A and B are shown apart, each in its own frame.
Chain A
Amino acid sequence: MKFFGFIAVVVVGTLLLVATGDFPGWGNPHSPASEGQVSGFYIEQTVNVTKVPNMVTAVLADFRGYDTMFETVVIFIAGIGIIAVLRTFGDTAGKASDYPEPDEGSDIIVRSTCHLMVPLIQLFALYVVAHGHHSPGGGFQGGVMLGASYILLALACGLPVAKRRMGERKAIVLAATGIIIYAGWGVACLFFGGNFLDYASLDPVLPGDKEMARSHSMLVVEIGVAFTVTAIMFAIYSNLATRGRLEKGL
Chain B
Amino acid sequence: MTEHYPVVILMAPLFGALLATLLGRGRQVACWWTALIALGISALFAVGNICAVLASGEGELRYRMGGWHESSGYEVGIELRVDMLAALVVAAVTLVGFVNTIFAKTRVTGEMREKVSFYYALNQLLIVGLCGIVMTNDAFNLYVLIEITSLTSYALIAMGNRRAALSSFNYIIMGTIGASFYLLGVGYLYIKTGTLNIDDIRGVLQSGNLWGHASITIAFILIMLGVWIKMALFPLHGWLPNAYCYAPSAVSSFMAPLMTKVMVYVMLRVMLWLFGSEYVYSSGHVWGELIIWMSIIAIVAGSFLALARTDIKKMLTYLIVAEVGYMVGGAWLVNGAGLAGSMYHIFSDAAMTFCLFLAASIVILRTGDHRLTAFNGLFRRMPLTMIGFTVGALSMIGLPPTCGFFSKWYLISGGIEAGHWAYVAALLFSSLVNAVIFFRIFERAYFGNLKGVADEQFPDDRDSAPPLTLERVPCSMLIPLFLAVMAVLLVGIYNNTLVSWLKAAMPPL
Q: Please say whether the chains A and B touch (CB closer than 8 A).
A: yes
What residues make up the interface of A, taking CB atoms closer than 8 Å to B? 15-16, 18-24, 31-39, 41-42, 45, 62-67, 70-71, 73-74, 76-78, 80-85, 87, 89, 169, 172-173, 175-176, 179-180, 183, 186-187, 190, 194-201
When chains A and B are docked, how far (Å) is the Cα of A41 from the Cα of B147? 28
Contacting pair A36 B194 (CB below 8 A): yes
Contacting pair A66 B125 (CB below 8 A): no
Contacting pair A67 B68 (CB below 8 A): no
When chains A and B are docked, how far (Å) is the Cα of A190 from the Cα of B145? 22
When chains A and B are docked, how far (Å) is the Cα of A21 from the Cα of B214? 8
Residues on the B chain within 8 Å of A172, using CB: 21-22, 24
When chains A and B are docked, how far (Å) is the Cα of A133 from the Cα of B66? 18
With A15-B218, A176-B18 in contact, is A42–B76 under 8 Å at CB?
yes
- Contact residues of B between 108 and 145, Cβ < 8 Å to A: 113-115, 118-119, 121-122, 125, 128, 132, 138, 140-141, 144-145
Q: Is B73 an interface residue (CB 8 A)?
A: yes
Residues on the B chain within 8 Å of A41, using CB: 71-72, 74, 76
Measured CB to CB, the nearest residue on chain A to B21 is A176
New contact pairs (12) apart from A63-B68, A70-B144, A76-B125, CB-CB < 8 Å: A19-B218, A21-B214, A32-B194, A36-B195, A37-B74, A37-B194, A38-B76, A65-B66, A66-B78, A70-B148, A74-B151, A195-B7
Measured CB to CB, the nearest residue on chain B to A197 is B66
When chains A and B are docked, how far (Å) is the Cα of A229 from the Cα of B62? 32
- Contact residues of B between 153 and 202, Cβ < 8 Å to A: 154-155, 158-159, 165, 184, 188, 190-196
Residues on the B chain within 8 Å of A36, using CB: 74, 193-195
Q: 29 pairs across A/B with beta carbons < 8 Å?
A: A31-B191, A32-B191, A32-B192, A32-B193, A37-B72, A62-B66, A64-B78, A64-B141, A65-B65, A66-B77, A67-B78, A70-B145, A73-B14, A74-B144, A74-B151, A77-B122, A77-B151, A78-B151, A81-B155, A84-B115, A84-B155, A87-B115, A89-B114, A172-B22, A175-B21, A176-B22, A180-B18, A195-B65, A201-B67
Contacting pair B191 A23 (CB below 8 A): yes
Q: Is B213 an interface residue (CB 8 A)?
A: yes
The main secondary structure of chain A at its interface with chain B is helix
Measured CB to CB, the nearest residue on chain B to A31 is B191
Q: Which 6 A-B pairs have the closest CB atoms?
A: A36-B194, A81-B155, A198-B67, A84-B118, A19-B218, A32-B194
Chain B CB within 10 A, most for which of A36, A82, A85, A187: A85
Contacting pair A37 B22 (CB below 8 A): no
Residues on the B chain within 8 Å of A45, using CB: 71
Residues on the A chain within 8 Å of B204, using CB: 32
- Contact residues of B between 408 and 464, Cβ < 8 Å to A: none
Contacting pair A66 B66 (CB below 8 A): yes
With A23-B215, A70-B132, A187-B11 in contact, is A39–B122 under 8 Å at CB?
no
With A36-B195, A74-B148, A187-B11 in contact, is A67–B218 under 8 Å at CB?
no
When chains A and B are docked, how far (Å) is the Cα of A187 from the Cα of B115? 29
Q: Say how far A64's CB is from chain B's closest CB, in angstroms.
A: 6
Residue interface mask B1-30, A partner, CB < 8 A = 1: 000100100010011001001101100000
When chains A and B are docked, how far (Å) is the Cα of A24 from the Cα of B75? 23
Contacting pair A63 B118 (CB below 8 A): no
Q: Say how far B77's CB is from chain A's closest CB, in angstroms.
A: 5
With A74-B151, A77-B148 in contact, is A19–B72 under 8 Å at CB?
no
